[in-house]
Structure 1
Amino acid sequence: MSSRRKFLKLSSIGVPLLGTSIFQSSIVEAATKKRSKGVKKPVVISTWRNGIQANEAAWKVLSAKGESLDAVEQGVMVVEADPKDRSVGYGGRPDKEGNVTLDACIMDHMSNVGAVAYLKNVKHAISVARKVMEETPHAMIVGDGAYRFAMDQGFKHENLLTPESEKEWKEWLKKSNYKPVINIENHDTIGMLALDENGNISGSCTTSGAAWKMPGRVGDSPIIGAGLFLDNEVGGAVATGLGEAVIRTAATTICVEYMRMGMHPQEAAKKAIERICDKHKNHPDMPNLQVGILALNKNGEYGGFGVRSGFNYAICDNDKGNRLEDAGYKLKWD
């Protein structure tokens, strides 16, 4: 009799739980159906002002009905090759020992991923990351292993330290005071998301990381789920800013999951940023913290939001062409 009462008690608990689960599934299903209407494609979106030139290259692929994976690779390669951009690829600011080291990752619509970290002497880290995805059973290769792999794949050994970056580094050495400051002038990453004519989303993220960092430091940019994440059923997100804060909160994964719940990309990015702020409210990084998140869903809708003002992004579509937009933000700079 006692066991029968126990069974009935558990059953009465289980029914509401099952009902809740079914109800939640219905919400997600309804949100997915809603996203399937009125799709705008192709679309490409990327971080910061340097995203304008990156979008131009990506749009050449997308407008010719090319695949989003090719678009996000070729788009960010433009910035990687630009010595005037001091935070990505060739010409990037070095670590405290004077070495330019690169981090990058790429992800396609089938959730295939490839990444490299602490890569030296190879200009196009994003292309090496794609080779990791396509030519190896691994998701990430780092350091000397990444360099050797790149050489085996036919990439060229190049000195990435330009005279301008070397001069800045030598000036910094006089005090050697490292402080991770991310502000409106320190554009530390190029992240890109693209939706192609087939309705598939891919993403890429590449950087030379924080200037004067400790040797071996890796930020969020090559980490799937931190600097970049996407689910082709829902959408994608990329992050820029202080990588440690993005890693601590799995920010892009959280953003995609908010979109899975039915949120517009703008609201999803805002909620992810609010989560970062909440988790860092008593953290030493908070007074100077800046993180920006971009989001793109399967509907071709997009959004961007930052911890602080100053974050902007480039967007290109058939409606308005390639342009720069300011992101929303939670806080103003003091």
Structure 2
Amino acid sequence: MVNRRRFLTLSSLAGLVPSLSFSHSKLMHIGASKTLSTADSPNSTIHTAGPSPLVISTWKQPKANAAAQAVLDRGGRALEAVEAGVRVPEADPEDMSVGYGGRPDRDGHVTLDACIMDEKGNAGSVTFLEHIMHPISVARAVMEKTPHVMLSGEGALSFALAQGFKKENLLTKKAEKEWREWLKTANYKPIANIERHDTIGMLAIDSKGDISGACTTSGLAYKMHGRVGDSPIIGAGLFVDNEIGGACATGLGELVMRTCGSFLVVELMRQGRTPQQACEEAALRIVNKQEFKDIQVGFLAVNKKGEHGAFSIQPGFNFTLSQDKETKVTDAKSYLK
């Protein structure tokens, strides 16, 4: 409750308001504008522009970024950009951790996981999907054409075929040869930063300032049949909140799932951390609870301002940023040096 002395003080201050020289226009733009001069004119303010469109992805992915950037250059949505971007490694047989040419599970099956999320919070996902080269596009179809978020296994395949996707053999001769060589010992031990357990995660901001993300992988090489990692799980491998920003993860998915890693990064940004600070704290959540000597997890994030951050447990994780007609691959900071 306001006491009498306090009330009189407030009343006296209120009486001074008419003498202040703020224009109505300036009052309406406080906090949303940048002042260009001290002139007492409504034309002395200008709205702050949003970030220029950008694409950022895990690992060295200049071709994927170029495909996504081409969508943004013609005014397309961030959603369209990230789908177009990750389709590139999905179709590349030389990228043996994603899509066609991906290393199989221990039974010789190439099983794919992917998810996508738009600026409105809509999401689609597929897990344990076989025979379809572009799981990211199936994930988008799940998002846009079903009442569900995730389809798996035979159900995901049936849906994909019903949507017109082509059934293909994804096990290349190179991947099969490596698998048969592995079978001689069947020694299952993922190695940090070796391209046998990896992912492409991609985030984009379009000309409207909207954020979307995508994540796709063939998962751990020689995993148990039926294993699903973090990549297709909303909040683990990928999360987007258009008011705050987006994040994605790469590395050993089991550890990302246990901490809801990408959701955690976005929530830390909501609390005021920069993308870099949020990625570092999310990685430390894993380090503080897990033996981390031989494992790798990396986080990548972007906020609504267009600021980005990246951090990993082991050195060796890098990311690709495309913005203002420039593409650059950068090594992320890491907990271990």
Does the pair score TM above 0.5?
Answer: yes
Shift of 1:92: 0.1
Is 1:203 equivalent to 2:208 in the alignment? no
5 Å-filtered alignment, 1:94-173, equals: 94-173=104-183
Shift of 1:130: 0.3
Residue 310 of structure 1: which of 304, 307, 316 is its match?
316
Is 1:46 equivalent to 2:57 in the alignment? yes
Q: Is 2:143–2:149's contact at 8 Å kept on the other side of the alignment?
A: yes
Taking the aligned partners of 2:48 and 2:58, their CA distance within structure 1 comes to: 27
Amino acid at match of 2:170: L
- Residues 153-206 of structure 1 deviation map (CA, whole Å, 9 limit, x = unaligned): 000000000000000000000011112333254461010000001110000000
Taking the aligned partners of 1:193 and 1:241, their CA distance within structure 2 comes to: 17
- Residues 2-60 of structure 1 deviation map (CA, whole Å, 9 limit, x = unaligned): xxxxxxxxxxxxxxxxxxxxxxxxxxxxxx979x95532201100001x2111000000
SS in 1 for 2:277: helix
Q: Is 1:38–1:299's contact at 8 Å kept on the other side of the alignment?
A: no
Shift of 1:64: 1.2
| Identical-pair percentage | 58
Which residue does the alignment assign to 2:242? 232
Structure 1 unaligned blocks of 5 or more:
1-31
Which residue does the alignment assign to 1:296? 302
SS in 1 for 2:84: helix
Taking the aligned partners of 1:33 and 1:277, their CA distance within structure 2 comes to: 39
Q: TM-score, normalised by structure 2?
A: 0.85
Q: TM-score, normalised by structure 1?
A: 0.85
| More deviation, 98-107/177-186 | 177-186
Taking the aligned partners of 1:180 and 1:311, their CA distance within structure 2 comes to: 15
Shift of 1:97: 0.5
Amino acid at match of 2:299: I
Shift of 1:287: 2.2
Q: Is 2:243–2:304's contact at 8 Å kept on the other side of the alignment?
A: yes
Which residue does the alignment assign to 1:241? 251
Q: Is 2:105–2:222's contact at 8 Å kept on the other side of the alignment?
A: yes
SS in 1 for 2:55: strand
- Residues 258-281 of structure 1 deviation map (CA, whole Å, 9 limit, x = unaligned): 11112111111111111111121x
Taking the aligned partners of 2:284 and 2:32, their CA distance within structure 1 comes to: 27
Taking the aligned partners of 2:280 and 2:56, their CA distance within structure 1 comes to: 17
Q: Is 1:209–1:218's contact at 8 Å kept on the other side of the alignment?
A: yes
Greater RCO (CA < 8 Å, at least 6 residues apart): 1
CA RMSD of aligned residues (A): 1.6
SS in 2 for 1:331: coil
Taking the aligned partners of 1:87 and 1:52, their CA distance within structure 2 comes to: 16
Taking the aligned partners of 2:281 and 2:152, their CA distance within structure 1 comes to: 32
Matched residues, number: 294
Taking the aligned partners of 1:97 and 1:33, their CA distance within structure 2 comes to: 58
Which residue does the alignment assign to 1:12? none
- Residues 230-267 of structure 1 deviation map (CA, whole Å, 9 limit, x = unaligned): 10000000000000000001111110011111211111
Taking the aligned partners of 2:265 and 2:105, their CA distance within structure 1 comes to: 30
Is the helix fraction higher in 1 or 2? 1
